[in-house]
């Protein structure tokens, strides 16, 4: 499985993004705000790595010739670097409260692995007892074409794992909103 993105929830998204820019060479990809039904908000920055990502990342999933839920044969052995997703939120919001519970600093909220079939990986993880999930089904977005789901925090690592299938780059604002809401 290829690491697709690392999601941080932080106190100040701009300061964190500047750090990733200066220290790692990440640049701003997209920026958007999510407004929840209760009026609270989350502000998000998607940062892209300095290395160019292969246009067909769907083939970058599993270093094996076997077809598995994680993917098929890789097209290339070169590393496809993960994006970084940074969000913050005000007091009383999903993200703001999560950061406040962690000393006001925040941290890694989830790590997203790219898989070929999100539902199949969910079923395998449920059967094997690796993790529970926040939703029964993957969250589906049509444009851009992607599927995502969150595990509950792992009892062994403390973090949430996301499984994602996407053809190209870019996040789906509505899916991010739905995913965040599943963790409430
Ligand atoms: Fe994510």
Per the listing, tokens 């070929």 go with 116
5 C-alpha vs ligand 1 centroid, how far in Å?
6
121 C-alpha vs ligand 1 centroid, how far in Å?
16
Determine contact, residues 163/140, Cβ cutoff 8 Å.
no
- For 99-145, the pLDDT digits (tens) are 999 999 999 999 999 888 999 999 999 999 999 999 999 999 988 88
Nearest to 75 by CA among 90, 65, 85: 65
65 C-alpha vs ligand 1 centroid, how far in Å?
27
132 C-alpha vs ligand 1 centroid, how far in Å?
17
Q: What is the distance between the alpha carbons of residues 35 and 22, in angstroms, rounded to a whole number?
A: 30
62 C-alpha vs ligand 1 centroid, how far in Å?
19
Distances in whole angstroms, Cα of residue 172 to Cα of each of 63, 104, 119, 164: 27, 27, 18, 12
The pLDDT value given to residue 166: 82
The pLDDT value given to residue 52: 72
73 C-alpha vs ligand 1 centroid, how far in Å?
24
For the full predicted model, state whether its pTM sits above 0.95: no
28 C-alpha vs ligand 1 centroid, how far in Å?
16
Q: What is the distance between the alpha carbons of residues 31 and 34, in angstroms, rounded to a whole number?
A: 10
- For 28-56, the pLDDT digits (tens) are 999 999 999 999 999 999 999 988 766 65
Average pLDDT over every residue of 82-103: 96
Residue 12 tokens, joined: 């100040």
The strand order across the sheet containing 106-114 reads: 27-35, 41-48, 83-88, 2-10, 106-114, 160-166, 146-150, 139-141
Q: What is the dihedral angle through the alpha carbons of 94, 98, 99, 102, rounded to the nearest 10 degrees? A: 170
Q: What is the distance between the alpha carbons of residues 40 and 50, in angstroms, rounded to a whole number?
A: 33
84 C-alpha vs ligand 1 centroid, how far in Å?
9
Three-class secondary structure of residue 137 per DSSP = coil
103 C-alpha vs ligand 1 centroid, how far in Å?
22
Peptide bond into 33 cis (omega under 30): no
Buried-state track 93-122, b at ≥16 Cβ within 10 A, e below 16: bbbbbbbbeeeeebeebbbbbbbbbbeebb
The pLDDT value given to residue 70: 58
């Amino acid at each position: 499985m290829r690491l697709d993105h690392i999601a941080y929830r932080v106190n100040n998204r701009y300061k964190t993004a500047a750090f990733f820019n200066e220290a790692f060479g990440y640049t701003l990809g997209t920026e958007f705000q999510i407004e929840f039904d209760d009026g609270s908000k989350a502000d998000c920055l998607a940062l892209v790595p300095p290395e160019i990502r292969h246009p067909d990342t769907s083939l970058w999933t599993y270093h094996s010739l076997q077809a598995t839920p994680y993917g098929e044969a890789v097209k290339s052995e070169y590393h496809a670097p993960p994006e970084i997703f940074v969000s913050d939120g005000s007091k009383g919001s999903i993200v703001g409260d999560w950061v406040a519970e962690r000393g006001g600093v925040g941290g890694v909220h989830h790590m997203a692995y790219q898989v070929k079939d999100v539902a199949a990986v969910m079923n395998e993880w449920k059967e094997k007892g690796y993790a529970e999930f926040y939703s029964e089904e993957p969250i589906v977005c049509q444009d851009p074409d992607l599927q995502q789901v969150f595990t509950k925090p792992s009892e062994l690592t403390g973090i949430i794992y996301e499984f994602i299938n996407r053809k190209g780059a870019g996040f789906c604002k509505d899916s991010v909103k739905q995913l965040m809401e599943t963790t409430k």
